[in-house]
Amino acid sequence: NKPIYILGIESSCDDTSAAVICNGKILSNVVANQEIHAKYGGVVPELASRAHQQNIVPVIQQAIQQANIDKKDLNAIAFTRGPGLMGSLLVGTSFAKSLSLALNIPLIAVNHMQGHVLAHFIEEENQQKPPFPFLCLTISGGHTQIVKINNYFEMEVIGETIDDAVGEAFDKSAKILGLPYPGGPLIDKYAKLGNSKAFKFTKPKVDELNFSFSGLKTGILYFIQKKTKENPTFIDENLNDICASIQHTIVEILFDKLKNAVKQTGIKHIAIAGGVSANSEIRKVLKATENKFGWTTYIPKFEYTTDNAAMIAIVGYLKYLDGSFLEEPTSATARLKV
């Protein structure tokens, strides 16, 4: 049982992150958020690449330091190959390649979405790991999928969004309400104080296990425009109720499909992953299915929900054990399927 140290590097969107994992246990997980995007109401790709360029060296240094190891102890480097923003991915990819060359250790390419899912396999106290096969509702700023996980490396997307991701639905709704980016956590916060039945929004009709969120966003926009015309302080007076109602609608859309997925597959081990799985209502409703429907649920630790390198490092470790190293030169890929 000799220790295997893997450095994980994540730079697919607007967070620069590095983590060190030793035999499945996280030793460090450093995340530098980019505040700059709040000003623009969304991630500006060009600014994200520049910020990664500035952050990557200090973030990696800090991760190695906090892990209390020497960089010469590292056995391999795992990096996010995609999906994500091309300019952002290139910073992490190039850095990982150079460092592997300098340290003469192998490289492991990781799919970001696989990282979100496999974060459930990080060794943590009091954290149950899901058995195979299980279903994972993977919900982030860029993705909304129901994935059937057959084993670490075999994942089948059985449902996904046909337009916006659920994180976008949160963020765009928040923007309509005048809240800063990313608005998802703020909707969550205000919703806690509001009445989720105060306003009703139409849920989309989408085939099979797929999702759609663009209609909801438009519905919310028209609703707010109409209401503020009648009463210019409508948002201020009703912010908590509006947020609670929006969040309630989104959660219903997600769980309607998840219930169908359970019916269709007969699988009752259900995990959530991705930035939106930090949402308190989603966590609460998922937990409640244990008594209600007999599901066994798996909810990741808060710090492994939004983008982080710990999830890249765990995939790196699992691939290391599997001997899946990057043999030939590979470039970053903006669009990459799980």
Q: Is 134 in the site for ligand KG4 (CB under 6 A)?
A: no
Q: Which does 184 bind (CB under 5 to 8 A by kind): ligand KG4, Zn ion, none?
A: ligand KG4
Annotated ligand binding at 37? The verdict is: no
Query: What's the rounded Cα separation, in Å, for the pair 293 and 286?
Result: 10
214's tokens: 């663009």
- 8 A C-beta contact, residue 272 and residue 301: no
The least distance separating ligand KG4 from the CB of residue 205, rounded to whole angstroms, comes to 24
Q: Judged by CB under 5 A, does residue 16 bind Zn ion?
A: no
The whole-angstrom separation of Cα 195 and Cα 248 is 9
Cβ-based nearer residue to ligand KG4, 26 or 117: 117
Is there binding between residue 306 and ligand KG4 (CB under 6 A)? yes
Specify the residue, 92 or 167, whose C-beta has the smaller distance to ligand KG4: 167
List 8, 130, 275, 316, residue binding ligand KG4 (CB under 6 A): 275
Q: How far apart are CA 175 and CA 298, in angstroms?
A: 31
Binders of Zn ion in range 301-320 (CB under 5 A): 307
Q: Looking at beta carbons only, is 170 or 201 nearer to ligand KG4?
A: 170
The secondary structure of the chain in percent helix, strand, coil, rounded to multiples of 5, reads: 50, 20, 35
Determine whether the annotation assigns residue 139 to a binding site: yes
Binding of residue 115 to ligand KG4 (CB under 6 A): no
Burial class for 265, CB neighbours closer than 10 Å (0-12, 13-18, 19+): middle
Q: Is 276 in the site for ligand KG4 (CB under 6 A)?
A: yes
How many residues sit in the footprint of ligand KG4 (CB under 6 A)?
A: 18
- The footprint of ligand KG4 on residues 148-177 (CB under 6 A) is 167, 170-171
| Phi and psi torsions of 35, nearest 5° | -70, -25
Q: Nearer Cβ to Zn ion, position 248 or 283?
A: 283
Site string for Zn ion, 129-168 (x = CB under 5 A): -----------x----------------------------
Kindly indicate which of the ranges 89-97, 139-147, 201-209, 326-334 contains the residues binding ligand KG4, using the contact rule CB under 6 A: 139-147
Is position 45 an interface residue for ligand KG4 (rule: CB under 6 A)? no
**Tokens matching residue 324:** 């899946």
3-state secondary structure 131-165: CCCEEEEEECCCCEEEEEEEECCEEEEEEEECCCC
Name every residue whose Cβ is closer than 8 Å to that of residue 139 and which is 6 or more positions away in sequence. 145, 165, 166, 167, 254, 272, 273, 274, 275, 276, 277, 282
Radius of gyration of the chain from its Cα atoms, rounded to whole angstroms = 20
- Encoding tokens for residue 274? 């991705």
Q: Compare residues 106 and 183 and give the one whose CB is closer to ligand KG4.
A: 183
The binding site comprises 112, 116, 138-142, 171, 184, 188, 279, 307
Site residues for ligand KG4 per CB under 6 A: 13, 140-142, 167, 170-171, 182, 184-185, 188, 274-276, 278-279, 306-307
